[in-house]
Amino acid sequence: MLGLVGEKENKGLKQKAIQTGSAFLLLMGIYLFIHLPLTHRLSSLKLELEKKQEQLLDVYRKREEVERFKRGEKEREEKLRYFFQRFPPEKGEIALLERLSELAKQEGVEKITFTLGEEKKHEFLKKEAREKKYFFSFSQKQKREKREKGKKDFSFSFQSPSKREEERGIVYYSLPVQMRLCGSYPSLVLFLHDLTDERKIKRLVKIERLEIRRGDDSSAFVEANISIQAYYFSSSNREERRGER
């Protein structure tokens, strides 16, 4: 009797174990059936979210670039306005640039571009020289859209004095300007010759360095450093002289 009872109990335990295992496997199957697609979906959503974030960051970066460009345009407009206030066209450096443009056009130079740098003020009778800094770019409006084949640019720089202030003592202004020109060899030579003619540009010009490399019979690559300098002596009788520094 005891043996039969023990066998029945063992069978009952085995059946319970089998049922429990079957239930566990069923639950695991249900879990995997639900969890795996959900995990895959979550991974896909995560990747999509990362892509959206990258796109949004790219939009923000482009927006910042646009805003930065607009701010730069406003700053350039302010500097341009300041430049024209300080140097009126009939008296200031714009008149000099316009005259140079006219001379270049007369001599057959095809293209000319000006870039003004940083204005510096030097007072030789004071211990410390004051400086007024600003940057300004000036480009000729009439540019050739196409250049003839074989023509090359050349660039040089010069310095020119700014408007004289009503002060006692020696005041000297320097304004670095870079000019980039393109044209035939004869026209460039004639234009460089005009730069040294004070009667044409009404400034004292000194050619510090000049290097000419021939491209062919009709064109050349020219490099030159040109300085246009002047002293301004301010005094009670408003005496004014020119001279090289």
- pLDDT of res. 138: 29
Please check whether residues 100 and 74 belong to one and the same domain: no
| 187 within some domain | yes
| 242 within some domain | no
- pLDDT of res. 57: 82
When mean pLDDT is compared over 142-146, 175-179, 237-241, the highest value belongs to 175-179
Query: Which tens digit of pLDDT belongs to each residue from 93-135?
Result: 555 666 667 777 777 777 766 665 555 554 443 333 333 332 2
Please check whether residues 19 and 47 belong to one and the same domain: yes
Q: Which of 84, 81, 114 is nearest to 100 (CA)?
A: 114
| 48 within some domain | yes
SS3 105: helix
Please check whether residues 3 and 30 belong to one and the same domain: yes
Which residue type sits at 98? E
- pLDDT of res. 46: 81
* Number of domains comprising the chain: 2
Please check whether residues 109 and 226 belong to one and the same domain: yes
Please check whether residues 46 and 113 belong to one and the same domain: no
Please check whether residues 80 and 199 belong to one and the same domain: no
| 241 within some domain | no
Please check whether residues 6 and 97 belong to one and the same domain: no
Spatial contact of 153 and 213, defined as CB atoms under 8 Å apart? no
Please give the share of the chain, as a percent, with pLDDT higher than 90.
0
Mean pLDDT in residue range 149-163: 37
Determine the Cα–Cα distance for residues 199 and 23; give it in Å rounded to an integer: 108
Which range marks the domain in which residue 207 is found? 89-234
Mean pLDDT in residue range 13-23: 69
| 207 within some domain | yes
Please check whether residues 14 and 130 belong to one and the same domain: no
- pLDDT of res. 82: 58
Please check whether residues 105 and 202 belong to one and the same domain: yes
Give 40's pLDDT tier (boundaries 50, 70, 90). Answer: confident
| 78 within some domain | yes
Determine the Cα–Cα distance for residues 75 and 224; give it in Å rounded to an integer: 31
Q: How many CB atoms lie within 10 A of CB 130?
A: 10
Mean pLDDT in residue range 217-233: 44
| 122 within some domain | yes
- 172 Cβ contact partners less than 8 Å away, ≥ 6 residues apart: 121, 122, 123, 124, 161, 229, 230, 231, 232, 245
Q: Which of 206, 198, 202, 227 is nearest to 95 (CA)?
A: 202
Please check whether residues 63 and 124 belong to one and the same domain: no
Return the DSSP state at 143.
-
Please check whether residues 56 and 147 belong to one and the same domain: no
At residue 158, does pLDDT exceed 60?
no
Please check whether residues 126 and 200 belong to one and the same domain: yes
At residue 151, does pLDDT exceed 50?
no
- pLDDT of res. 162: 41
Query: Which tens digit of pLDDT belongs to each residue from 43-102?
Result: 777 888 888 888 888 888 878 877 877 777 677 666 656 555 554 444 445 556 666 677
Determine the Cα–Cα distance for residues 55 and 46; give it in Å rounded to an integer: 14
- pLDDT of res. 27: 73
| 245 within some domain | no
